[in-house]
């Protein structure tokens, strides 16, 4: 029976992934920022819940010791925990910048750093880092979210080289806006006296809400793909893109190049 550790598993894609793996008879180590009982998890004897704050090195170590006491091996780690922040640079707040960097970027680093020795001792294992199409293309108001996701992309690719000799595979997974609780929890800066800022925020928010509502089948595709990757790890570093929107943006950016792509996005978001 294989074992998967998932961060940020109390809601959204994390929770759906935990349930999917449990149904496929994996042992699921479902971690979350603050421990709480998840009603849907109670139906499965193979889901084990732990409190784990990805921003705290000390808390990660405590959780790690508890996990290793109860589980002899870990086959796959899915770094899913993440937050969003939609703001203009001049209106950004230190507290929110620190949070998104600490969760989305350093959280992944700290989880990998803590559990690599476990996988290395096993001489096998897999790390799947969930990024976003935001890690491959740049869009308005993505200053902070996109930056953290691109950082995880680079980090993952670099890390894959050093882990290759130990039979530890690394992959990243990108997708677009999915109808989960994530978008509802995104921090957004307040309305301002700057009309162009307000107009852009309204346009982007409306566009993202529309895209999320259209992608009703995306969460199911994501969790199924994560399961397929976990079942068939590729020793070489791989990037997986899921969903029409993400694949379309990825291909469009590649074909058009920076200048034309930038012009298309500008016309769609900035011009009336």
Quote the domain boundaries for residue 220.
3-269
Question: What is the reported pLDDT for 138?
Answer: 78
Question: What is the reported pLDDT for 195?
Answer: 87
Domains contained in the chain, number: 1
Burial of 211 by CB count in 10 Å (0-12 exposed, 13-18 middle, 19+ buried)? middle
For the chain, helix (H) and strand (E) counts, in that order, are 9, 9
Question: What is the reported pLDDT for 261?
Answer: 76
Question: pLDDT by residue (tens digit) across 179-191?
Answer: 676 777 788 888 8
Question: What CATH number is attached to the domain comprising 112?
Answer: 3.40.50.720
pTM of the entire predicted model: 0.92
Beta bridge partners of 188: 86
Question: pLDDT by residue (tens digit) across 205-259?
Answer: 887 777 666 667 888 999 999 999 999 999 999 999 988 777 877 887 788 887 8
CA-to-CA distance for 36 and 48, rounded, in angstroms?
12
Contacts by 117-121, CB closer than 8 A, 24 or more apart = 118/64, 118/68, 118/74, 119/74, 119/77, 119/163, 119/166, 119/168, 120/163, 120/166, 120/168
Which segments within the chain are labelled E, that is strand? 3-6, 27-32, 47-51, 76-79, 85-86, 125-130, 168-175, 187-188, 238-242
pLDDT band at 193 (very low <50, low <70, confident <90, very high): confident
């Amino acid at each position: 029976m294989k074992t998967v550790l998932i961060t940020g598993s109390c809601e959204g894609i994390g929770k759906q992934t935990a349930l999917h793996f449990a149904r496929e008879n994996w042992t699921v180590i479902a971690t979350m920022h603050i421990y709480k009982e998840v009603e849907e998890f109670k139906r499965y004897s193979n889901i084990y819940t732990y409190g784990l704050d990805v921003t705290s090195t000390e808390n990660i170590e405590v959780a790690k010791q508890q996990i290793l006491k109860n589980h002899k091996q870990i086959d796959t780690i899915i770094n899913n925990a993440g937050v969003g922040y939609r703001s203009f640079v001049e209106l950004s707040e230190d507290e929110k910048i620190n949070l998104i960097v600490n969760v989305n970027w350093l959280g992944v680093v700290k989880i990998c750093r803590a559990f690599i020795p476990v996988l290395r001792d096993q001489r096998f294992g897999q790390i799947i880092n969930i990024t976003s199409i935001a890690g491959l293309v740049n869009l308005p108001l993505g200053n902070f979210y996109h930056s953290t996701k691109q950082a995880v992309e680079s980090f993952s690719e670099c890390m894959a080289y050093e882990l290759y000799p130990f039979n530890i595979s690394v992959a990243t997974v990108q997708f677009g806006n999915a109808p989960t609780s994530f978008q509802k929890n995104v921090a957004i800066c307040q309305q301002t006296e700057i009309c162009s800022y307000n107009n852009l925020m309204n346009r982007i928010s409306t566009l993202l809400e529309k895209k999320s509502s259209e992608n009703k089948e995306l969460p199911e595709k994501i969790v199924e793909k994560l399961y397929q990757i976990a079942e068939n790890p590729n020793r070489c570093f791989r990037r997986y893109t899921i969903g029409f929107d993400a694949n379309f943006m990825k291909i469009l950016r590649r074909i058009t190049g920076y200048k034309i792509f930038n012009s298309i996005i500008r016309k769609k978001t900035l011009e009336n």
